[in-house]
């Protein structure tokens, strides 16, 4: 039988935990452990989790010192998972544990990542579903990995896929994209989604903006991790180019005696672009220093080897 580590971030979910455990206990198609990561809950979740762990040996609990956010909670769960398949899931009963077996079935067809797609999503339409649809199209477009629902926590991963990935910010949702860039086979299946009955959502519209900012970071780190100067330097050159064009424009007007330097904003605009260009190039130099520092400090190579032959 397959063995699955289920990773469950928990922040103030006191009324959901027992019901969730009952649903997990009803799973019989595979062996499992459930790693609950208590992300600094301020309600009774802490005590309840300890009780559940007393009753059920397959329940494991990691208590955080304070609230670090869902991504950190998931990272801690991944780091403590002992089985070869890892399935993160929300604690609020919006994801359905009964879907895990479908994720596993898809995985046996040769996939390393099977992502859940909450096709019929039961969240606030205006503040959550629509912004999230927009974010999903944007992420799919920019990362080149087409998924309908990056934000769904319920996904199944082969352990190797997540082992090397470090998670920051709201970035747990980008794991499928990272995995695909590193050669993993990624797919998605529809999963059920239930409205939240107990407790409250921790997110609102602001989440989408944070996700889009994280996407910028991911995109940058994907394309330029070892050569930030190419990014900043290029932008800097465009700054210089614009500065030059505006300067020439101002000079031509002056030579033709159509306008004096002080009667148009052109010299001013030219100067601004010059300074911006300069700043960008200096920033590129700084980024290069930071990047080298981080690679050399950790003895990291700028490449990854699949395997070596005849050494």
List of residues contacting ligand UDP (CB under 6 A): 9-11, 13, 39, 67, 69-70, 73, 90-92, 94, 123, 201-203
Which of 153, 157, 26 minimizes the C-alpha distance to 104? Answer: 157
With CB under 5 to 8 Å by kind, the binding choice for 70 among ligand UDP, Mg ion, none is ligand UDP
Phi, psi (rounded to 5 degrees) for 186: -120, 135
Of the pair 203, 238, the CB lying nearest ligand UDP is at: 203
With CB under 5 to 8 Å by kind, the binding choice for 83 among ligand UDP, Mg ion, none is none
* Paired tokens of 297: 């400090």
With CB under 5 to 8 Å by kind, the binding choice for 188 among ligand UDP, Mg ion, none is none
With CB under 5 to 8 Å by kind, the binding choice for 73 among ligand UDP, Mg ion, none is ligand UDP
With CB under 5 to 8 Å by kind, the binding choice for 99 among Mg ion, ligand UDP, none is none
Which of 215, 203, 191, 202 minimizes the C-alpha distance to 134? Answer: 215
Of the pair 112, 170, the CB lying nearest ligand UDP is at: 170
Q: How far apart are CA 309 and CA 286, in angstroms?
A: 38
Q: How far is the CB of 146 from ligand UDP (least distance, A)?
A: 21
Task: Write the binding mask 83 to 122 for Mg ion: x where contact by CB under 5 A, - elsewhere.
Answer: -------x-x-x----------------------------
Q: How far apart are CA 75 and CA 105, in angstroms?
A: 25
Q: How far apart are CA 213 and CA 194, in angstroms?
A: 28
Q: Which residues are CB-contacts of 46 (< 8 A; sequence separation ≥ 6)? A: 38, 63
Of the pair 70, 143, the CB lying nearest ligand UDP is at: 70
Of the pair 92, 214, the CB lying nearest ligand UDP is at: 92
84 DSSP assignment: S
Q: How many CB atoms lie within 10 A of CB 2?
A: 16
Q: How far apart are CA 27 and CA 41, in angstroms?
A: 27
Cα dist. 107→11, 27, 89, 158 in Å? 29, 18, 17, 9
With CB under 5 to 8 Å by kind, the binding choice for 215 among ligand UDP, Mg ion, none is none
Of the pair 171, 266, the CB lying nearest ligand UDP is at: 171
Of the pair 77, 236, the CB lying nearest ligand UDP is at: 77
Q: How far is the CB of 184 from ligand UDP (least distance, A)?
A: 24
Phi, psi (rounded to 5 degrees) for 144: 75, 5
Q: How far is the CB of 67 from ligand UDP (least distance, A)?
A: 5
With CB under 5 to 8 Å by kind, the binding choice for 228 among ligand UDP, Mg ion, none is none
Q: How far apart are CA 73 and CA 64, in angstroms?
A: 8
Residues that bind Mg ion (CB under 5 A): 90, 92, 94
């Amino acid at each position: 039988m397959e063995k699955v580590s289920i990773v469950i971030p928990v922040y103030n979910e006191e009324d959901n935990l027992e019901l969730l455990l009952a649903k997990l206990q009803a799973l019989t198609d595979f062996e499992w452990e459930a790693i609950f990561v208590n992300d600094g809950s301020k309600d009774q979740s802490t005590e309840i989790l300890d009780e559940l762990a007393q009753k059920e040996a397959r329940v494991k609990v990691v208590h955080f010192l304070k609230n670090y956010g869902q991504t950190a909670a998931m990272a801690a769960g991944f780091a403590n998972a002992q089985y070869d398949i890892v399935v993160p899931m929300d604690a609020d009963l919006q994801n359905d544990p009964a879907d895990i077996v479908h994720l596993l079935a898809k995985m046996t067809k040769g996939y390393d990542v099977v992502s859940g797609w909450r096709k019929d999503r039961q969240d606030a339409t205006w503040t959550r579903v629509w912004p999230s649809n927009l974010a999903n199209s944007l992420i799919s477009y920019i990362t080149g990995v087409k998924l309908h629902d990056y934000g769904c926590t319920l996904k199944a991963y082969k352990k190797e896929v997540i082992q090397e990935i470090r998670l920051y910010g709201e970035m747990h949702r980008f794991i499928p994209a990272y995995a695909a860039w590193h050669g993993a086979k990624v797919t998605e299946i529809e999963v059920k989604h239930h409205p939240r009955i107990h407790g409250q959502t921790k997110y609102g519209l602001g989440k989408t903006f944070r996700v889009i900012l994280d996407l910028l970071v991911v995109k940058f780190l994907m394309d330029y991790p070892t050569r930030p100067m190419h990014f900043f330097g290029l932008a800097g050159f465009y700054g210089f180019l614009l500065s030059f064009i505006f300067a020439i424009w101002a000079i031509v007007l002056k030579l033709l005696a159509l306008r004096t330097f002080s009667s148009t904003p052109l010299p001013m605009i030219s100067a601004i672009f010059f300074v911006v260009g300069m700043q960008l190039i200096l920033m590129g130099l700084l980024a290069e220093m930071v990047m080298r520092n981080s690679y050399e400090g950790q003895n990291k190579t700028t490449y990854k080897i699949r395997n070596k032959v005849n050494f």
